[in-house]
Amino acid sequence: MTAPAPLATPESLDGVASATPLLVALDFDGTLSPLVDEPMQARMLPAARTAVDALVAVPDTFVALVSGRSLDDLRIIAEHDDDSPLLLAGSHGAEYWIPGEGRIEPVDEPGALELRDRLRAEAERATADLEGVWIEPKTFGFGVHTRRMDAASAHIANRRVDRIVAENAPHWRRRTGHGIIEFAFRHEGKDAGVEALRARTGASAVLFAGDDVTDEDALRKLRPEDLGVHVGGGPTAARVSVRDIPAMADLLASLAIRRTAARQ
């Protein structure tokens, strides 16, 4: 990350608006859906859903959700059924859903799931006395949610779980986000997820948008012909930014209009 990115303008879309094919890859939480205290209650803002649907309808346009959520949870919060045209990359790009093919998952190393379950249970026991913490089960690890806690209690919870993982699985990847620390035995980042989807779709350019620290993995690896968009303020590797989720929805809607007009 370097510095805050300038606000997006209609001209920011010039390059990707004419790309054929175009991959529009979007983080979910904080980008299309507001952050909520109960993570499984997250849903796209109506304006974001409308913009996504409009992009899906444009020829030579692929739309994907690239999230740290496990694939099963991502499908629930995105209201994604088996007939959906959306591509999904869950667990930061370690598992996928491809329209017409279904689920694609990696082969796990022996003992990885047993260790995951044991450490998640230890984390739950270690934080049981702290009000507001939630240990979220994930496909390849678990997350420690502290959004509903005060800063001092969150520090205690994270320190206890950090110690458990450091002692038992020092090779796991540790990620920080908005009110969450996530531990995983797989090391894929969203950069790998975007590149896998680029290769699968044959996209000549990518628009990737995200709001959190984990999205910077993908934003840093975008190519000159791509467009990175950061939602919110603060330092980022993105080329441009938007103020909030409604502004992100507006940008996506503008992209759909421009791509549709170019084909008429």
Q: List pLDDT tens digits, range 32-52.
A: 999 998 889 999 999 999 999
Is residue 1 in a domain?
no
Q: Say how many C-beta atoms besides its own lie within 10 A of residue 121's C-beta.
A: 12
Range of the domain at 117: 112-184
Cβ–Cβ < 8 Å for 208, 25: yes
**pLDDT, tens only, 189-221:** 999 999 999 999 999 999 999 999 999 999 999
101 and 17 inside one domain: yes
Low-confidence ranges of the chain (pLDDT < 50): 1
Which value, in Å, is the radius of gyration of the alpha carbons in the chain?
19
* Number of folded domains that form the chain: 2
Tell me, what's the pLDDT at 110?
A: 81
Is residue 206 in a domain?
yes
69 and 199 inside one domain: yes
Q: H-helix or E-strand containing 104?
A: strand 102-104
Amino acid at 257: I
**Structure-block tokens of residue 60:** 């030579």
Triad 68, 16, 226: Cα angle to 5°: 55
**Structure-block tokens of residue 183:** 């531990």
141 and 44 inside one domain: no
Q: Which of 131, 165, 184 is the last residue of a domain?
A: 184
90 and 44 inside one domain: yes
Q: Which of 184, 213, 231 is the last residue of a domain?
A: 184
Task: Give the separation between CA 42 and CA 136, rounded to whole angstroms.
Answer: 14
Give the C-alpha distances (Å, rounded to integers) separating 118 from 47, 112, 113, 217. Answer: 41, 10, 9, 29
78 and 132 inside one domain: no
208 and 194 inside one domain: yes
Is residue 171 in a domain?
yes
Q: Which of 149, 184, 219 is the last residue of a domain?
A: 184
60 and 169 inside one domain: no
Which CATH number does the domain housing residue 164 bear?
3.30.70
Task: Give the separation between CA 111 and CA 114, rounded to whole angstroms.
Answer: 5
153 and 208 inside one domain: no
Is residue 14 in a domain?
yes
164 and 43 inside one domain: no
Cβ–Cβ < 8 Å for 30, 211: yes
Is residue 223 in a domain?
yes
Q: What is the pTM of this model?
A: 0.88
Which CATH number does the domain housing residue 228 bear?
3.40.50.1000
Task: Give the separation between CA 86 and CA 99, rounded to whole angstroms.
Answer: 7
95 and 23 inside one domain: yes
DSSP, res 185: S
132 and 198 inside one domain: no
**126 dihedral zone (left: phi>0; alpha: psi -120 to 50; beta):** alpha
Is residue 208 in a domain?
yes
Cβ–Cβ < 8 Å for 9, 229: no
Tell me, what's the pLDDT at 181?
A: 95
99 and 194 inside one domain: yes
Find tokens 């993570």 and name the residue. 39
Is residue 3 in a domain?
no
